[in-house]
Amino acid sequence: MPRRKGAPEVNAGSMADIAFLLLIFFLVTTTIETDAGLDRMLPPIEPPEEDVIIRQKNIFTVNINKNGQLLVEDELMNLKNLRSAAIGFLENNADGSCTYCKGKKDPGSSDNPTKAIISLKNDRETKYSTYITVQNELVGAYNDLRNREAQRLYQRDFTDMESEYLNPETPSSVRDELKDKVKRIQDMFPQKLSEADTSTN
Amino acid sequence: MAKFTKKKEGDLPAVSTASLPDIVFMLLFFFMTVTTMKDSSLLVENTLPNATEIKKLEKKDRVIYIFVGKPTQEYQKVFGSEPRIQLNDKFANVDEVGSYILAERAKKPQELQNVLTTALKVDKNANMGLITDIKQELRKVNALKVNYTTYEGDAFNNLQ
């Protein structure tokens, strides 16, 4: 009986073609997602039990009209100046209780950062892009202040610390350490950005 | 007598393509892993605005998407050119947003139901009126965590 040959070798020459085919399919269907954006919390629909009395000077009102113009504290303002105005309001520190603020201590403006509230109102016909720009500037004002304090205390940016803290790939030992730092900076400048109901007129 | 000339010694040897499949497979696996299949096709125009102070939306399974924008060319005849809401694969009215959120929330595992984020993918040319209505609906169903999805870029580019 003739000796049987081993199994014939499979020709792998077309493997590259098959792999290319698959590769091209995935290349075409790929969309590397760029999902990022401004995180916001909406106010709960039930009004709070007791009415909290907030003094007018602790509220920083920003109104956007349908043409995209800004009315800040009853004065027309250019969007480019909004961030610095918001920073000035937040760290004004009229009652002197905030030791890390560098504000002007103007008695007609906010008492301290924990009491300062920014109220954003918009018209129904305001363009979404304008609204996002304003939101971005206001969030930016908070982030600027928080970054400044984080640099002073921990020699790194708050936004950097926060994104590392929120990143699920960060090891939990690092995260626990960051948690207190992030919390501390957040408490220094709590983000109080109220989105009131839109004016209808 | 005709005779083929012998190959010269100095000729370049053919490049071996034996490792080509390996290279291609490597690329293939890269694209396979980064691919995310689109689960709904866009019926609306969706050019997002720019912003700088953005946070990444981690963990896709905790996100519910709402698209808003002008219907694309082919749907404009039927649905007009005013911005509309798109939920999953169809156009919807404002009053359907609440039930959609509740339905999507019910689909998620129990432990995620309280940590869901609603991503609002809104075209930059939409008006705030519609967005305000959506926000109101979201408040009604207690979906308070929202993310205004944007591109990264200078926010002042939005104004042009």
**pLDDT tens, residue by residue, A108-167:** 788 888 888 888 888 888 888 888 888 888 888 888 888 988 888 888 888 888 888 887
**pLDDT tens, residue by residue, B88-123:** 888 888 888 889 999 988 988 888 888 888 988 888
| Domain range list for chain B | 50-159
Q: Does residue B21 belong to the interface with chain A, where contact is any CB pair within 8 Å?
A: yes
Kindly report the pTM of this predicted structure. 0.77
Contact A42 B132 (CB under 8 A): no
Instruction: Mention the CATH class of domain B50-159.
Output: alpha beta
Q: Spell out the per-residue pLDDT of chain A, length 201, in tens.
A: 566 677 777 777 787 788 888 888 887 777 666 578 888 888 877 776 666 777 788 888 888 888 888 888 888 888 888 888 888 888 888 777 778 888 777 787 888 888 888 888 888 888 888 888 888 888 888 888 889 888 888 888 888 888 888 877 788 888 888 888 888 888 888 888 777 655 544
The count of CB pairs under 8 A between chains A and B is 172
Q: Does residue B158 belong to the interface with chain A, where contact is any CB pair within 8 Å?
A: yes
Contact A128 B131 (CB under 8 A): yes
Q: Does residue A129 belong to the interface with chain B, where contact is any CB pair within 8 Å?
A: yes
Nearest to B129 among A20, A37, A124 (CB): A124
> The tokens of A144 are what?
């600027």
Q: ∠ CA(B46), CA(A30), CA(B62), 5° rounding? A: 65
Contact B52 A197 (CB under 8 A): no
Q: Does residue B97 belong to the interface with chain A, where contact is any CB pair within 8 Å?
A: no
Rounded Cα distance between A129 and A108, Å, is 32
Contact B55 A37 (CB under 8 A): yes
